[in-house]
């Protein structure tokens, strides 16, 4: 049954020259999950807000739950559940208090019974008195869903519900939502996780307000079944070959998959075998099953950049066999709680080290100790061979740090942020001007120089944060969930920059909840409850689970194995 029908739906905001949505025609059916995907600014949140009755459209028609909008009636809104970005929670209220507030606002009869039912459904009952602000990302996600479901909706609208949440929590949310389909609930799910989109019953792909595709993920992938290749048996440095392949006019996109490279060709273009052989005589290429990401990139028609101008401006680091980052018996306790428990690892020059784990596993705590922002309870953190906690260390000057949510000054302009970080890192006046001018040119910041950072699109914020972290050309770079919430196109550009930095001899340590990004790393440490439970290359970790395991399957299975062993 069609619960939402749109015909030539358009929305224009007065402050914009171009429409936010342009002549969309689609329907959303009960008992199905319809995914909404697209780059930043595509119109995903605008579409959801129109359907939720929070915005009025400019042209076309929109019918929701049998009511043609706009309408003087609003009783149909009671059958809509809406979970906004960042979950729409009141951080100072407990789980119980958040649910009671939503129940009161929607005048729920027998609200105690409904709250108990939702606490059981989301497995939050043991934590009901805990403040929302003290919950992990996965628990916040569950509570946000429970609040959206307080009145048993017929239509559930989820706007980026998985941002910043680990794969285990994402899978748990998916299972919870799927159980609603048995009651013929229609779900509209906006997401930047393309593996998540691939599981939806139908997909709406938006770009610059226009709908490029509406249909099943399978049909979206079908036209490119012979246009995606896997390059294996690579004998040269894999990132060098990646760059060379991206330089080919025949290649639209290429990404690392552990020790292999997946190549997405331009439409109706043969694989450049001669180009590959010139670069690496031993490498081989074979057709492979396309992913949803491949189809997404092909639909948008955006060629991934081959080289990083940002990295190209930086000096080559001296070659060294020394470990640039080292942690020995690294432990941090907060009272009786052990956030990081006896962690050991080292990272060499020009290496990407992935630090993975569920929300609350201790990743950010470890990062802060390695950056000199937290003092360990026990053990040592060293950068460039120097203990960060000795008073005269110079190692901190060699650290670049890009924190979650980008650690920019939101009320300052782009120019002011660049000036501030240049000053913090001690650049001379002449160095400062030269570096800032180069960054502005590289990322075309000129139109945005006087814009407050809080008003920038997420992709521009990410570029600005990376630029600020690299202002002083550090030898080591810490990236704490640097692509959280950023669209797939922007993520690809970001990783081109990171691959360029690796070629310059910079060491990178990164946390991420995107499992495709984990495969870009040279080595990975998986931590859980503060302990290191697995270390190895992406391929090694996958093979621990099965020969054909995905990175997400390996992540979940290795944690579940450890949890089972711990319980036994």
Query: Does position 30 have pLDDT exceeding 90, yes or no?
Result: yes
Query: Does position 111 have pLDDT exceeding 90, yes or no?
Result: no
Among 49, 69, 57, 60, CA closest to 8: 60
Q: Which pairing describes strands 260-265 and 337-348: parallel, antiparallel, or unpaired?
A: unpaired
Residue 396 confidence (pLDDT): 82
Mean pLDDT of all residues in the chain? 91
Give CA–CA dist 149/136, Å, rounded.
Answer: 20
Give yes or no for a contact between 20 and 58, defined as CB atoms under 8 angstroms apart: no
Query: Does position 169 have pLDDT exceeding 90, yes or no?
Result: no
How do residues 2-19 score in pLDDT, each as one tens digit? 999 999 999 999 877 789
DSSP character at residue 238: H
Handedness of CA 92, 94, 95, 97 (dihedral sign): negative
Residue 475 confidence (pLDDT): 94
Residue 323 confidence (pLDDT): 92
392 confidence band (pLDDT: 50, 70, 90): low
Residue 139 confidence (pLDDT): 85
Give yes or no for a contact between 228 and 264, defined as CB atoms under 8 angstroms apart: yes
Residue 76 confidence (pLDDT): 84
Query: Does position 186 have pLDDT exceeding 60, yes or no?
Result: yes
70 confidence band (pLDDT: 50, 70, 90): confident
Residue 391 confidence (pLDDT): 62
Among 520, 531, 456, 525, CA closest to 486: 456
% residues pLDDT > 90 (the chain): 69
Tell me the pTM. 0.90
Residue 568 confidence (pLDDT): 43
DSSP character at residue 305: P
Handedness of CA 466, 469, 472, 478 (dihedral sign): negative
Strand ranges of the sheet holding 21-29, from the earlier edge strand across to the other edge:
21-29, 2-11, 59-64, 67-69
Q: 392-424 as b/e, with b when 16 or more CB fall inside 10 Å?
A: ebebeebbbbbbeebebeeeebbbebbbebbee
How do residues 296-312 score in pLDDT, each as one tens digit? 999 999 999 999 999 99
Higher-scoring residue by pLDDT: 407, 507: 507
DSSP character at residue 90: -
How do residues 231-261 score in pLDDT, each as one tens digit? 999 999 999 999 999 999 999 999 999 999 9
Lowest model confidence (mean pLDDT) among 106-110, 196-200, 319-323, 514-518: 106-110
Domains of the chain: 2-215 (3.40.50.300), 224-306 (3.30.70), 320-567 (3.40.50.300)
**Residue 311 contacts by C-beta under 8 Å, 6 or more apart in sequence?**
497, 499, 500, 501, 503, 504
Give yes or no for a contact between 374 and 339, defined as CB atoms under 8 angstroms apart: no
Question: Which DSSP string do the residues of 466-496 spell out, in sequence order?
Answer: HHHHTTT--SEEEEESTTTT--HHHHHHHHH
% residues pLDDT > 70 (the chain): 98
**Partners of 29 in the beta sheet?**
2
Give yes or no for a contact between 185 and 177, defined as CB atoms under 8 angstroms apart: no
Mean pLDDT of 167-188: 91
Residue 564 confidence (pLDDT): 84
412 confidence band (pLDDT: 50, 70, 90): very high
Query: Does position 437 have pLDDT exceeding 50, yes or no?
Result: yes
Residue 566 confidence (pLDDT): 56
Which residue matches tokens 């080919």? 248
Angle at 248 between CA 477 and CA 42, to 5 degrees: 65
Residue 165 confidence (pLDDT): 83
Give yes or no for a contact between 192 and 487, defined as CB atoms under 8 angstroms apart: yes
Query: Does position 487 have pLDDT exceeding 90, yes or no?
Result: no
Mean pLDDT of 43-50: 94
Residue 222 confidence (pLDDT): 96
How do residues 267-291 score in pLDDT, each as one tens digit? 999 999 998 999 999 999 999 999 9
Query: Does position 72 have pLDDT exceeding 80, yes or no?
Result: no
DSSP character at residue 413: B
Q: Which helix (H) or strand (E) covers residue 265, if one does?
A: strand 260-265
Give CA–CA dist 301/489, Å, rounded.
Answer: 10
Give CA–CA dist 137/166, Å, rounded.
Answer: 8
Lowest model confidence (mean pLDDT) among 4-8, 199-203, 454-458: 454-458
How do residues 521-532 score in pLDDT, each as one tens digit? 999 999 999 999
Give CA–CA dist 350/475, Å, rounded.
Answer: 9
Among 127, 122, 117, 133, CA closest to 96: 127
Query: Does position 181 have pLDDT exceeding 50, yes or no?
Result: yes
């Amino acid at each position: 049954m069609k619960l939402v029908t749109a015909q030539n739906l358009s929305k224009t905001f007065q402050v914009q020259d171009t429409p936010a949505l342009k002549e969309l025609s689609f329907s959303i059916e009960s008992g199905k999950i319809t995914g909404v995907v697209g780059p930043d600014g595509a119109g995903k949140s605008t579409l959801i807000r129109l359907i939720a009755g929070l915005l009025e459209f400019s042209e076309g028609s929109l019918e929701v739950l049998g009511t043609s909008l706009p309408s003087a009636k609003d009783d149909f809104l009671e059958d809509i559940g809406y979970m906004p970005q960042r979950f729409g929670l009141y951080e100072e209220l407990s789980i119980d208090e958040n649910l009671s507030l939503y129940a009161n606002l929607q005048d729920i009869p027998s609200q105690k019974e409904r709250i108990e039912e939702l606490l059981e459904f989301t497995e939050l009952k043991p934590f009901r008195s805990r403040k929302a602000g003290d919950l992990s990302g996965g628990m916040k996600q569950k509570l946000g869903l429970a609040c959206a479901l307080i009145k048993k909706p017929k239509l559930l609208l989820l706007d980026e519900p998985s941002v910043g949440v680990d794969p285990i929590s994402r899978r748990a949310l998916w299972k919870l939502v799927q159980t609603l389909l048995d009651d013929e609930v229609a779900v509209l799910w906006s997401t930047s996780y393309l593996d998540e989109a691939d599981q939806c019953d139908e997909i709406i792909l938006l770009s610059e307000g226009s709908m490029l595709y509406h249909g099943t993920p399978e049909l979206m992938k079908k036209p490119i079944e012979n246009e995606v290749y896997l390059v294996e048996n690579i004998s040269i440095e894999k990132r060098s070959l990646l760059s060379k392949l991206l330089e080919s006019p025949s290649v639209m996109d290429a990404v690392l998959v552990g020790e292999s490279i997946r190549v997405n060709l331009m439409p109706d273009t043969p694989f450049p075998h001669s180009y590959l052989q010139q670069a690496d005589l031993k490498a081989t290429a074979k057709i492979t099953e396309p992913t949803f990401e491949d189809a997404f990139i092909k639909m948008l028609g955006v060629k991934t950049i081959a080289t990083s101008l940002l990295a190209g401006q930086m000096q080559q680091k001296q070659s060294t066999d020394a470990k640039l980052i080292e942690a020995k018996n690294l432990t941090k306790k907060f009272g009786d709680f052990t956030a990081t428990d006896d962690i050991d690892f080292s990272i060499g020059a020009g290496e990407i080290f992935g630090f993975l784990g569920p929300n609350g596993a201790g990743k950010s705590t470890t990062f802060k100790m390695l950056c000199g922002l937290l003092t360990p309870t026990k053990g040592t953190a060293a950068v460039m061979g120097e203990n960060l906690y000795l008073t005269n260390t110079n190692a901190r000057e060699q650290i670049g740090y890009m924190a979650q949510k980008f650690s920019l000054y939101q009320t300052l302009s782009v120019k002011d942020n660049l000036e501030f970080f240049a000053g913090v890192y001690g650049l001379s006046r002449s160095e400062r001007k030269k570096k800032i001018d180069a960054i502005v040119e590289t990322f075309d910041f000129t139109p945005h120089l006087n814009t407050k950072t809080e008003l920038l699109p997420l992709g521009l914020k990410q570029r600005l944060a990376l630029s600020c972290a690299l202002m002083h050309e550090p030898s080591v770079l810490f990236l704490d969930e640097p692509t959280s919430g950023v669209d797939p196109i922007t993520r690809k550009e970001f990783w081109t920059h990171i691959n360029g930095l690796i070629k310059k001899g910079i060491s990178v340590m990164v946390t991420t909840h995107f499992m495709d990004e984990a495969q870009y790393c040279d080595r990975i440490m998986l931590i859980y409850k503060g302990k290191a439970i697995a270390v190895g290359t992406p391929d090694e970790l996958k093979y621990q689970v099965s020969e054909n395991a995905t990175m997400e399957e390996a992540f979940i299975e290795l944690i579940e194995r450890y949890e089972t062993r711990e319980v036994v």
